[in-house]
Amino acid sequence: MVSAPWSLPRVVVAAPASGHGKTTIATGLLAALRRQGHLVSPHKVGPDYIDPGYHALAAGRPGRNLDPWLVGEERIAGLLRHGAAVPRPADIAVIEGVMGLHDGAVGHRGYASTAHVARLVAAPVLLVLDTTAQGRSAAALALGMGAFDPAVRIGGVVLNRVGSPRHESLLREALAEVGVPVLGAVTRAAEVAAPARHLGLVPVAERAAESTAVVDALADLVAATVDLDAVLELARSAPPLTAPPWDPVAAVGAPAGTDRPVVAVAGGPAFTFGYAETTELLTAAGATVVPFDPLRDEALPAGTRAVVLGGGFPEVYVEALAANTGLRADLAAFDGPVMAECAGLLYLGRELDGVPMCGRLDLTARMTGRLTLGYRAAVAAVDSVPHAAGELVRGHEFHRTGTDPGHGERAAWCWDGAAHGFVTGRIHASYLHTHWAGQPRAAQRLVTAASR
């Protein structure tokens, strides 16, 4: 069935570099527009899990990622359309960029950059400029950001960290000279900060009340400093989306069976990293998805036939995870399929920072002083529950821990000429984060294995 084009208003919030205030403005926009009665759909360029949590709190619906590296550029417009339609069609989509506007996968000429995604979804860009120690040069910067890729339309800027009324006047005059509209100006004194630690902002699930207060403050800030009507007008200038919406049912094909096996998916403060499409794909493949919290639930959900342990911050909650001996014993005895990424890998090991974990994998893990971060083009090293040997999967790493050993006798992946991860029985565990919209067969294979 051919889908009719959808005139979805949309705007990409970008910046020349990290640290200019994209998350502040994007989250504040989502919350401020929602206050006005708009149904807003939140999206994030790149693999990041943390910003979408703040977006979801601001918008009242799941924050979703748009990452060409992880899912393929051909799916980006369809995923945007799907996310903006679920659970109800949105009035506007706000897409927060990643890093600088033109920064993408290293060595791939801007692939997976914010500019790349803006082109794929034909959305105008609202550029956030940190104007600290800048005057007229801010106009040159805005002009260059657009001229570098003429296919990207800079529809306006928000001036951030403005020093004084005179400074704002100077900036507005310079930007008017080059024909770039100023849609807002935020002073340094008005900044609102969310707490951060070793991997970025503290996730919403770890501090719900404080996060709500931060989002409320951001809504106040943006409502007072940004011309929301002008932002809406800019978003409405985007052409209709012609790509059909992404469909999880079509992505996985026929369900694995009729018994709808229970797939338990870890959540809670220690396991906050996950994509909304994972649950949708598992459900479409025939599973009954049941969340559980390894910090609080003393056993796996009743009838569990497979387990998904995503990413998060087990190192922050290591003592509490260890204290939940009932669930650790349950996982140690569970013989069904287990898919574990990053935090899940650490949780399945013998120890994390000297504290006992589940003991399903013969490894120890420790915090290190080194950040491992980047996209990976991985090849499945062996046949496993979610992947066939030789399958090419694009993922990313994001951690400050290390394991001893670094991989098992049967490694999960190979990339850059080295082995990574562990395949033991029906367990697949590694540091690699993946987005199953890019490889929906993983969900189908997991549910099929659970049905046996």
- Sign, CA torsion 100/238/117/91: positive
Residues of the chain with CATH 3.40.50.300: 10-236
Tens digits of residue pLDDT in 336-373: 999 999 999 999 999 999 999 999 999 999 999 899 99
Q: End-to-end distance of the chain based on CA atoms, in angstroms?
A: 33
| Contact between residue 447 and residue 286 where contact means Cβ atoms under 8 Å apart | yes
16 — alpha (psi -120 to 50), left (phi > 0) or beta?
alpha
Question: For residues 174 and 189, what is the distance between their CA atoms, to the nearest angstrom?
Answer: 23
Centre a 10 Å sphere on the Cβ of residue 61 and count the other Cβ atoms it contains.
21
Residues of the chain with CATH 3.40.50.880: 248-451
What does each of the 452 residues of the chain score in pLDDT, given as a tens digit?
A: 468 999 999 999 999 999 999 999 999 999 999 999 999 999 999 999 999 999 999 999 999 999 999 999 999 999 999 999 999 999 999 999 999 999 999 999 999 999 999 999 999 999 999 999 999 999 999 999 999 999 999 999 999 999 999 999 999 999 999 999 999 999 987 667 666 644 557 788 777 778 899 999 999 999 999 999 999 999 999 999 999 999 999 999 877 667 899 999 999 999 999 999 999 999 999 999 999 999 999 999 999 999 999 999 999 999 999 999 999 999 999 999 999 999 999 999 999 999 999 999 999 999 998 999 999 999 999 999 999 999 999 999 999 999 999 999 999 999 999 999 999 999 999 999 999 999 999 999 999 999 98
| Rg over CA atoms, the chain | 22
DSSP string for residues in 204-226:
GGG-HHHHHHHHHHHHHHHHHHB
Determine the longest span between alpha carbons in the chain, in angstroms: 70
Q: For position 205, what pLDDT does the model report?
A: 72
Q: For position 48, what pLDDT does the model report?
A: 94
Q: For position 188, what pLDDT does the model report?
A: 86
CATH H superfamily, domain 10-236: P-loop containing nucleotide triphosphate hydrolases (3.40.50.300)
Q: For position 278, what pLDDT does the model report?
A: 98
Tens digits of residue pLDDT in 53-110: 999 999 999 999 999 999 999 999 999 999 999 999 999 999 999 999 999 999 999 9
Pick the CATH number of 248-451 from 3.30.450.40, 3.40.50.880, 3.30.70.20, 3.20.20.70: 3.40.50.880
Q: For position 84, what pLDDT does the model report?
A: 98
284 — alpha (psi -120 to 50), left (phi > 0) or beta?
alpha
Question: For residues 4 and 446, what is the distance between their CA atoms, to the nearest angstrom?
Answer: 34
Q: For position 186, what pLDDT does the model report?
A: 95
Residues 6+ apart with CB under 8 A from 195: 201, 202, 207, 210
- The DSSP secondary-structure symbol of 358 reads -
Active site residues: 342
What pTM was computed for the model? 0.95
